[in-house]
Amino acid sequence: MGDKSIRKKQYIIEKAREVFIEKGFLTVTMKDIVEACEISRGGLYLYFPDTETLFLEVLRKEREEGNSEELEKADTAVEMLSLFLREQKKEVLQNEKSLIVPLYEYYFYLRQKQHAAAKEQTQAQAIAAADREGKEPAAKPEELTEKERFEMSVKVLEKLIIGGMREGYLACDDPGEEAKNIMFAMEGLKICAVTIGLSEEEVTGQINYLYSHLFIRD
């Protein structure tokens, strides 16, 4: 029944995605998921022990599917940059139906966990600390950290800018920082879109500015 199981697991992940989009990460309960999936309480636990594990699966799936479409279509660096920004714009504007909010909440949650753990360790005996050393830290070497993911994007952007400069279209004093600026501005747009709310014009205006900004004026 491995096949049926896999399909059910996928089904749960899809439904859970909707729940996370609607409610964020922190306030979603196993009960919410159970109700959204219309399965039994026990049934859910057969597949996922908690909302965190489930959310990570949702994320993984999202990333698997969201990959590598833009890459192939473009020939020049400038075209790729343009495509990249268009993608980002879509993401910012889709904020109502994206995982942005649950994702941030999840990061906040991780941060707290770390702090709490750090605090506990401080309070605990130094002896015990050394003892535990070998166990927990090895927990998640599996995937890219969010930081690595961010830095990879910066690197890619930097290369595109440099490429554009070589192609003779773009000008930039410091491609590295410029790439970071674009990424930070993107993050700023995303978070502002879901907190204070941004109109399509505001988003378009800023992204166009970021883009046109790089071009050699003549």
Which residues bind to DNA, rule: CB under 7 A?
A: 1-2, 4-5, 8, 29-31, 39-43, 45-47, 49-51
Spatial CB neighbours of 97, under 8 Å, sequence gap ≥ 6:
21
Nearest residue to 55 (alpha-carbon basis) of 27, 96, 97, 94: 27
Instruction: Determine contact, residues 107/146, Cβ cutoff 8 Å.
Output: yes
Sole residue written with tokens 């959204």 = 36
Q: Of residues 50, 195, 200, 216, which one binds its own copies by CB under 8 A?
A: 195
Rounded distance between C-alpha atoms, residue 91 and residue 196, angstroms: 16
**Rule CB under 8 A: is residue 178 a binding residue for its own copies?**
yes
Tell me the two tokens of residue 99.
Answer: 């995982």
Residue 149 CB, shortest distance to its own copies, in Å, is 8
Is the CB of 41 or the CB of 155 nearer to DNA?
Answer: 41
Is position 85 an interface residue for its own copies (rule: CB under 8 A)? no
Contact flag: residue 163 with its own copies (CB under 8 A): no
151/169 Cα distance (integer angstroms): 25
Positions in 2-41 near its own copies (CB under 8 A): 22-24, 26-27
Q: How far is CA 192 from CA 20, 181, 203, in A?
A: 19, 16, 10
Name the binder of 202 from its own copies, DNA, none, CB < 5-8 A by kind. its own copies
Q: What residue 88 binds from its own copies, DNA, none (CB within 5 to 8 A, per partner kind)? A: none
C-alpha span between 76 and 88 (Å, rounded): 18
Contact string 128-157 vs its own copies (x = CB under 8 A)? x--xx--x---------xxx--x-------
Q: Which of 52, 62, 91, 187 binds its own copies (CB under 8 A)?
A: 187
